Amino acid sequence: MFLRPNLRLTRRIPFNLICAVLIFLAASKAANADELAIWNFNDSDLNVDHGSGTLTSNLNVVNILFAAGTTTNARQGDAAGQALSLQGGTGNANNGRNITFAVSTVGFSNIAVSFATQGTSTGFNSNQFQYSTDGVSFVDFNPPYTPATAFGAVPLVFSLAAITGLNNNPNAAFRIVFNGASSSTGNNRIDNIVVEGTSAATATIPEPTSALLLLTGLSSLYKLKRRRDRQKRHSST
């Protein structure tokens, strides 16, 4: 027996599919952030590896070393390579010193900073993450953190979306202040520092209410087209 296809269902599928694709694309774009600056330290230096930014440190130069890194938080296919390794120094002189990275966030909001880290038992065990909106004065963000003894599968993430002064800011900067080292060779490793944000273009994605209105309008146009098609078929019979 010949089965007649359900024409109503087959006509409805394309529109439903289009709606689903539009919603999926909008959600995917909204969920993705743009990487503004990445340091992977694979070249055993403090130069930025992807994007644009500067990284400086006031630790004693002899205590700024490089050691085996990790793929945790690696981006753009970067290998494990090297990691920044910071030592306590003679007389633990580097307690209270820092690394500072400046990254322009012009055109971006919802800023976040993430990195992989580990520390030895006599390394820095009370480290403070800070941010600055002018590149000069720094503000503590969240309580101090203590690195794990080995790189984990998940990086440390500092979501700064609530700090609106960091949005669209050419003078944005971030700092990690190291404390708690109890031996000259005790150290922390830092790897795959990533500064990212949401671009202004992403902000143009419609809000849920606007998207609903758009889809409702498309639905009305589709129904109008179907009505006209039926009228044409009736007039031709």
pLDDT digits (tens, 9 = 90+) for 91-150: 999 999 999 999 999 999 999 999 999 999 999 999 999 999 999 999 999 999 999 999
Please name which of 33, 28, 76, 30 lies closest in space to residue 167, comparing C-alpha atoms.
Answer: 33
Does residue 18 sit within a domain? no
Pairing of the two strands 108-119 and 82-87: unpaired
pLDDT surpasses 60 at 219: no
Return the pLDDT at 201: 75
Does residue 232 sit within a domain? no
In a domain, 134, yes or no: yes
Residue 60 domain-assigned (yes or no): yes
Query: What is the CATH number for 112?
Result: 2.60.120.260
Residues of the domain holding 103: 33-200
Q: How far apart are CA 199 and CA 196, in angstroms?
A: 9
80 located within any domain: yes
Residue 53 maps to a domain:
yes
Tally of domains within the chain: 1
Would you say residue 1 lies in a domain? no
pTM attached to this predicted model: 0.75
For residue 129, the cross-strand partners are 176
Residue 19, in any domain of the structure: no
